[in-house]
Structure 1
Amino acid sequence: MRFFIKHDAYKRLRIHFDMNQMTFREADILQFYLDGIKEISSSKVYERTADAVILYDCDKNKIINALREFNFENVNVPEEILENSGREINSLYQEKLVTKVLVRYTAKIFVPMPIRRAIILAKSLKYIKNGLGCLSKAKIEVPVLDATAIGVSILRSDFETAGSVMFLLGIGEIMEEWTHKKSVDDLAKTMSLNISKAWLLRDGQEVCLPVNEIKEGDLVVVHMGTVIPFDGVVVSGEAVVNQASLTGEAEAVRKAEDSLVYAGTVLEEGEITLRVTKTSGLGKFDQIVKMIEESEKLKSGVESKAEHLADSLVPYSLGATFLTYLLTRNATKALSILMVDFSCAIKLAMPISVLTAIKQGRQNQINIKGGKFLEAVAEANTIVFDKTGTLTKATPTVKSVVSFSGASEDELLRIAACLEEHFPHSMANAVVLAAKLKNLEHEEMHSKVEYIVAHGISSYIGDNKVVIGSYHFVFEDEKCVIPEGKEELFNNLPLEYSHLYMAVNGKLAAVICIEDPVREEAANVINRLKHAGFEKIVMMTGDSYRTAKAIANKVGVTEFYAEVLPEDKARFVEEEKAKHNKVIMVGDGINDSPALSAADVGVAISEGAEIAREIADITISANDLESLVILKNLSNEMMRRISKNYNNIVGFNASLIALGVAGVLQPTTSALLHNISTIAFSLKSMESYLLEEK
C-alpha cells in the first residue's frame, strides 16, 4: 500500500498512508497488523489523518518492507477484535464533548436571552425530576443537591448560574459515561477468550485445528481442565463445568447429553463432545459486559466506600445551606454551599484511578480483571507459589529419554507426546515440543484419554494400557514395576532432572528426563517481594522433598511444602485466610486451579493451562516474574492515588464552601471552580491513561 514518511527520527517513524482518512475498521486492521510485527515496540494509528506513529528496534528497512506488504484485504483480523474496538467509543465521546462546548458558547453569542432562559428552564426539569425522584425514595443524595442548586438559582432569576451548573454537570456526565464504557470495554477484552486451537472430531479421530477452521455443526471434543471454545450442545459425555466467568455463580454445573454449554466456561471434570452452534466469540464478550455492569466487578472496596461517604455528606451540605441562610439571611452565601458537592469528583476520579492501574498493568503484560483484585494485592501479606512453570522456567525441556522396554527413544517419545498433547501443562508441553523438534508424527493411536489431576494420564493403545505421570501415580497408584534386570539403570537416573514415568501393561517403559531450571530472576523477585511487604512467601509442589528443598534454598522462600496434591494447596490457602491473612496464589497448571480459586487473588502465568488462566483474577507474562513486583507496586500506587484524590477533593471543595460562606466567592464562581476542579482531578487521575492513548 502507498505511504509517505512524514517524520523520521531515531527508531521512530511517522507514516502517512495515501488516503484522506481511515474508517475505524481500517485503522483497527492496520493497528492489528503493526502489533503483530515483533520488531515494533509500540505503534499508534490515527484514523482521521491516516497516519501511524511507529517505534521500532530493528533495521528501518525491515519496517518499510513490512509496510509495503500491508493491504487491508489481506490481514486476517478476528471479528471480535474489530467489533469491540475502543476506537469508536473514544471518537464518539470526543465529539460529544466538543459539540457540547460549541453549542454552549455559540448559544451565548447568538441566541437572545429570553430564548436562552426558556432553554435553561426546560433543561432544568431533568435535574429537578431526578432530585424529586431521589427524595421520593427517602434518599438525600447528589441529585437532590444538584436539583436544589439549579432550582434556587432559577427562583432567584440567576439563569446564568443555573446554565453554568447544568453545562458543567453535563460535561461531567459525558466523562463519567465515557470512563464507564471504556472501563467495561477494556475489562471485558481482558476477560474474553484467548483460545487458538480446538480438537475436532473427524471420522472417529481427534484432530487439533485452529479455531477459525471450526464451523457451525462441527463436533468438538473438550477435555478436562480446558476452556470450552464455542457455544454448543453436548452430544456425548458428561462433565462438571465452571460457569463463574459467564454467570458469576460459584458452584460448577453438571452437563450431560443435550445440555447447552457456552464459550469461555471451564470444564473442571469429565469430557464432552459438543456440536458447535456458534463460532463467534461475540456472545461471550457481550455476556461478560453485562455481567461486569450488573456486578460492578470493576470497583474496589475503597472506591465504593469513598462514593458512599460522598453521598452521605449531601444532607450536611443541605443542612449547612439552610443554617447559613438562617444565621446570615444572605441567600448568596447560602447558595455558595449548594454549588459545591464532593461526590461528582469522587465518582469520576476514583474509577479513572482504577482504569489507569489496569491500563498500566496491560502495558506490562499484566491482565487484571477488576479493581478489587488490585486492592487485595495491595493488602496481601502472604503469597503462595507453585514450583513448576512458576518459580522454574515456563518452558522446561526434555534432555533425554531412558528406555526400559527395548523400544527406541524416539518411539517412546512419540507415544508420550501423543498422550500429553491433550492436557497442556509445562511438563506436557516440553514432551510435545521435543517430539515436534524431532519431526515425530504422532497420529491418534489411543482410546479415550483419562487425566488424573496432579498425577498423570491413563489410556489404551490397542489392547495395551499406557500410563504416564509422577512416581506416585505410576508406581504406587498403578502398581507398575521396573522390568527385571533394569534396577541399576533406574537407580542411576540423573538426579539433576525432573522425571516423567511411562509404563505399558504394568511395566516401566521409559523415564523422560526433563530439565526444569529455576528462573534467573526468581531469587531477586522473592527478595523484592519481601521488601514490598509480604510476610510469608511459600512454595508448594508435587515434586519430591529433595527437589523442593533445593529449589527453596535457591530462591529464598520463607517455607515450602513438597509432594502436595491440589486439595492440599487449596486447604493451605483457606487456612491462611482463616488466620485473617490476605493470600495471593501464583500458579500455571490444572492442579493449581483449586488454590487459585480459593485465594483472595489468583495469579496465573499466561502460558499455563487454560483453566488456570480462566479461573485466575490476574494473568502475568510467562517471560519474567518481575511482573509480580510491578503488580504489587501498581496496586500500592492505585491505593495511594485513590487516597490522595479523596483528600484533595474533600479539602478543595471544603475550601470553596468556606470562601462562599465568608462572602469571598459568588455562587457562580463557586460552581465554576467546583466543576473545573472535578474535571481537573479526573484528568489528573487519567494522566497515564491519556498518555497511552496518544
Structure 2
Amino acid sequence: MRFTVKHDIKGRIRIHLTRGRLSVRQADLFSFYLTSLPQVTAAKVYERIGDAAITYTGSKEDLIAEILRFSFDDEELNEIVPVTSTRELNQEFQEKLVTKCLTRCLTKIFLPAPVRAVWTAIQSVPFVIKGIRKLAGRKLEVEVLDATAITVSMLRCDFNTAGSVMFLLGIGELLEDWTHKKSVSDLAGSMSLNIERVWQKTEDGEVLVPISDIKEGDLVSVRVGSVIPLDGIVDSGEAMVNQASMTGESEPVRKENGMYVYAGTAVEEGNLIVRVKKAAGSTRFERIVKMIEESEKLKSSLETKASGLADALVPWSLGGTIVTYLLTRNVTKAISILMVDFSCALKLAMPLSVLSAMREASSYKMTVKGGSFMEAVAEADTIVFDKTGTLTKAQPMVADVVTFEGRDRSEMLRIAACLEEHFPHSMANAVVAASRERGLVHEEMHSKVDYIVAHGIASHIGEDKVVIGSYHFVFEDEQCVVPEGEEEKFEALPAEYSHLYLAIAGRLAAVICIEDPLRPEAPEVMKELRKLGIKKIVMMTGDSERTARAIAARVGVDEHHSEVLPEDKANFVEAEKNAGHKVIMVGDGINDSPALSAANVGIAISEGAEIAREIADITISEDAMFQLVTLKAISNALMRRVHRNYRFVISFNFGLIILGVMGVLAPATSALLHNTSTLCISMHSMTNLLKDEEKKH
C-alpha cells in the first residue's frame, strides 16, 4: 500500500493513496482494516478522492507500518467484509435524490404549461391507483387522502399544486426508504462483522481456528451455550436449538443427525458436530438483513401508534372537506383541508426518529436489535446487573492456585484450563489466560465435556471423574470432599477472592483463586442512571453473601442477591415485571440467558457468551459501562423528540387548516407549507439526539 501524508497532528493523520479514487468495495475493505487496528479510534475513507482521515493513539510510526502492510487482495479480509455496502447504498440514494430534484426543477423551468400538465398527469397515475386499491379494500388510509388531493387539484387544472404534492411525497418516501435501509444495513453489519473463532473437528481432534479458515464441507463442533457460526447439516450429536431470531419459534427445536441448522441460532442444550454448507461472508450478512427486515421487533409501539393515528385521521380529513364545502359552498376552502393532512408527518417522522436513534446508538458501538427496545429502555425504572463480567471487569485474573494432597500447581491449572476453554466465560477466560501465560500447553486428555449451567463442568481423565465449578456444584451436587487433614488449609482460603473448585475422583484437588476487580466507573454509572430515571438498581450473583455484600456496598446498588441460580434471576425479573416495573437485565454469561430473555430489555456484553448475545435485545462493549448511560440518554431523548413531533404536527397542520378555511391561505400555499413542514420535521428527525455536551465518556 503506497500513500502520502497530507496532514499530521498529534493523534490524527490524513493520508492520500497514490492509486487515487477507490471503488466502493476497496473503500469498505480499507475502512474495515483501519478500524480493526487496535491503535485506531476512528477512521473515515473518502473513496472519490482516495483519502483517509485516521484518529489514533500511540506511535505514528507503528500506525504507518500497519497501513503499509494493507493489501486489497487480502483473502481473509475479503471473506469477512460483506459485499453489500452502506457506502454503496448512500451513493445510490444520493443519486436518486439529486435526480428527483433536478427533474422537478427542469420540468418547471423548461417544459411548456401544456406539456407540464401531461407530465403531471402521467406522474399521478401511481398515486391514484394506490388510492383506488385502498378504497377497493374498504380502507380509508393515507393513500386515499393523497390520491384525492392530487386528483382534485388536477380536476381544477391546478397542476402546479398537484406536482408539488407528488414531489414532496416522493422526497419523503425516498428519505424514509434511505434511512430505513441504512439503519438496517448498519445494524446487520454490526451483527455480522464480528471476527469469530470456531472449534474445527479434524482427524487429530478439535482445533480452535478463525471462522474465515472454515470452508464448505468442514466439520465444526458447537457446544451448549454457543451460537452456530455457519449454515450446515448435523453430522453427529443432538441438541435443542433456539431458532427464535431466524424463524420466530418461541420454543427450542430438537436437532439431530441429518437435520439442517442455521447460522446465528443458539444451542441451549446438547452438543453438535455440523458439516458446513455455507462459508462466512456476504451470505450471512444478507440473511441477517432479511431477518431484521422481517422482524416485528424492528417496529416500536410508537411507530405502530403513529401509523394507526395517521390512518384514523384520514376519514376526519375527508369529512372535514365535505362539511366545509356544504357549509360554505366554497371549493377553495374545502380543498384547503384536503391539501393538509396529519398523516404524512406522523407516518414519516416517527419511524425516522426511531431508526435514527438506533443508528446513533450503533455509532457508540451498541447494537440495538429493534426500535421497541429503545422505547422500553426509556420507560424502564428498574435495572438488574449480573456481577461477574458486568459490574466487575470482564477480564478477571488468577491470583493464586491452592493445591491439596501435594498436587502440582501447574498441573492443576493446566487441567482446569483444558476443561474451561470449551465454555468461555469471564472466569473461564481467566483460567485459560493464566495457563497460556505460564506456557502450560496441553493436548485434549479428557473425554466428553458436560457443562452444567451456573454450576460447573464435568468430564473424565482416564477412569477418574473430574469436576470444576462452584462450591454448591462440587461439594453439594457432586458430593466431593476435602482431603483428610487439610481442612484448616481449606478454611484459610483468602476471602477477598472468588473461588473455583477443582476435584478429581471425588476429592478436592485445587482451588483457583480469581481476582475479580470492580469496574472503577461502576459507582458513577449508578449515579448517572438514577439521574436519567432509574429508580431501583439490583445486583445478582452466584458468589457468596460475603463477596456480594462487599461489592454491593462499593457499587451503590439498592439491593443485592447472592448464591443465585439462572432460574432465580429469571424469577426475580418476572416478579418485578408483575409488580408493574419495566426491567432492564444486564449480563454476559450463559447463566444470564433466562433473565435476559425474561426482561423487558436484555442487554448483553458483546465479549460475553455467544448465547447471551444472541438472546439479548441490545449488546454493548466490555469496559464501556458508560454506554448504558448513553443508551438511556438516547432513549429518553428519543421519547422527548417523538412527543415534540406529535405536538408540532398536530398544532401546525391544524393551524394551516384554520387559515385555509378562513380564506387566508390558498390551497397551493397550504399544500406547500404542509409538505415543507413534513420534510423539515423528517430531516430534523434524522439528526443525532445527543448534543456534544450530553455525550457520556
- With the shorter chain as reference, the TM-score category is over 0.9
Q: For residue 450 of structure 2, what is the aligned residue in structure 1?
A: 450
Partner of 1:332: 332
The amino acid across from 2:87 in the alignment is R
Call closer, same or farther: CA 1:8–1:522 in 2, change over 3 Å.
closer
CA distance in 1, matches of 2:467, 2:88: 53
Aligned to 2:412: 412
- Cα deviation, residue 604, structure 1: 0.7
Which 10-residue stretch deviates more, 507-516 or 404-413?
404-413
- Does the 8 Å contact 1:29/1:75 carry over to 2? no
- Separation in 2 of the partners of 1:433 and 1:20? 44
Deviates more, 1:420-429 or 1:77-86: 77-86
The yes-or-no answer on 1:520 pairing with 2:520 is: yes
2:23 aligns with 23
Distance 2:321 2:293 in 1: 36
Distance in 1 between the 2:343 and 2:446 partners? 64
**Greater mean alpha carbon deviation, residues 495-504 or residues 526-535:** 526-535
Aligned residue in 2 for 1:393 = 393
Q: Secondary structure at the match of 2:81?
A: helix
C-alpha contact 2:29 2:81 (8 A) present in aligned 1: no
Task: Note if contact 2:345-2:681 (Cα within 8 Å) is conserved in structure 1.
Answer: yes
1:677 equivalent in structure 2? 677
2:563 matched to which residue of 1? Answer: 563
1:632 Cα offset (Å): 1.2
Long gaps (5+) in structure 2: 693-697
CA distance in 2, matches of 1:580, 1:682: 34
Do 2:227 and 2:267's aligned partners in 1 also have CA atoms closer than 8 Å? yes
Q: Who is 1:90 aligned against?
A: 90
CA distance in 1, matches of 2:292, 2:621: 24
- 1:527: how far off? 2.7
Match of 1:216 in 2: 216
Match in the other structure for 1:153: 153
Which residue identity is paired with 2:408?
Answer: S
For residues 198-209 of structure 1, the aligned pairs below 5 Å read: 198-203=198-203, 205-209=205-209
In 2, Cα distance between the equivalents of 1:327 and 1:627?
Answer: 58
Structure 1: any 5+ residue segments left out of the alignment? none
Aligned to 2:277, the other structure's residue is in SS state strand
Mapping for residues 128-527 of structure 1, pairs under 5 Å: 128-192=128-192, 194=194, 196-203=196-203, 205-527=205-527
Structure 1 residues 60, 511: closer, same or farther in 2, change over 3 A? closer
1:373 shift after superposition:
0.5
Over the matched positions of the two proteins, sequence identity in percent amounts to 61
What is the CA–CA distance in structure 2 between the aligned matches of 1:476 and 1:356, rounded to whole Å?
Answer: 52
Asked if the contact 1:25/1:82 (under 8 Å) is kept, the reply is no
> 1:106 offset after TM fit, Å?
1.6
SS across alignment from 1:278: coil
In the aligned structure 2, how far is the partner of 1:507 from the partner of 1:667? 89
User: 1:678: how far off?
Assistant: 1.5
Number of aligned pairs?
Answer: 692
Correspondence for 1:77:
77
Contact persistence 2:82–2:281 (CA under 8 A): no
* Distance across 2 between alignment mates of 1:399 and 1:72: 44
Take 1:616 and 1:556, find their aligned partners in 2: how far apart are those partners? Answer: 25
1:2-54 deviations in Å (ceiling 9; x for gaps): 43444455644443323452111011011112212333322221222222223
SS in 1 for 2:688: helix
Does 31-40 or 54-63 show the bigger shift?
Answer: 54-63
Q: C-alpha root-mean-square deviation of aligned residues, in Å?
A: 2.0
How many Å apart are 1:346 and its aligned residue? 2.1
Q: What displacement does 1:277 show?
A: 1.1
CA distance in structure 2 between the aligned counterparts of 1:478 and 1:641, rounded to whole angstroms = 56
Q: Equivalents in 1 of 2:450, 2:70: separation in Å?
A: 46
Alpha-carbon separation, structure 2, partners of 1:689 and 1:87 = 23
Correspondence list, 1:597-608, <5 A: 597-608=597-608
Residues 534-543 or 267-276, more deviating? 534-543
* TM norm structure 1: 0.96
- What secondary structure, in the 3-state scheme, does the structure 2 residue paired with 1:82 have? coil
CA contact under 8 A between 2:653 and 2:674: conserved in structure 1? yes
CA distance in 2, matches of 1:564, 1:416: 23
Q: Which amino acid in 2 is paired with 1:231?
A: D
Q: Is the 8 A contact 1:469 1:500 kept in 2?
A: yes
SS of alignment partner, residue 581 of structure 1 = coil
Deviates more, 1:683-692 or 1:504-513: 683-692
Q: Which moved more, 1:527-536 or 1:671-680?
A: 527-536
Deviation, 1:505, is 0.6
Amino acid at match of 1:412: M
- Kept in 1, the 8 Å contact 2:218–2:275? The answer is yes
Match of 2:695 in 1: none
Q: Is the 8 A contact 2:188 2:289 kept in 1?
A: yes
Stretch moving more, 212-221 or 426-435: 212-221
Contact 1:198 1:210 in 2 (8 A): yes
Q: Shift of residue 77 of structure 1?
A: 2.1
* Structure 1 residue 60, shift from structure 2 partner: 4.4
Closer, same or farther in 2 for the Cα pair 1:465/1:288, shift >3 Å?
same
Residue 636 of structure 2: aligned partner: 636
Q: Given the two structures, how large is their TM-score scaled by the length of structure 2? A: 0.96
Residue 587 of structure 1 is matched in structure 2 by 587
1:63 Cα offset (Å): 4.2
| Deviating more after overlay: 221-230 vs 666-675 | 666-675
One-letter identity of the residue aligned with 2:197? K
Moved more, 460-469 or 56-65: 56-65
Q: Aligned residue for 2:546?
A: 546
Q: Aligned in 2, Cα 1:504/1:12: closer, same or farther, shift over 3 Å? A: closer
In 2: Cα distance, 1:106 partner to 1:368 partner: 42
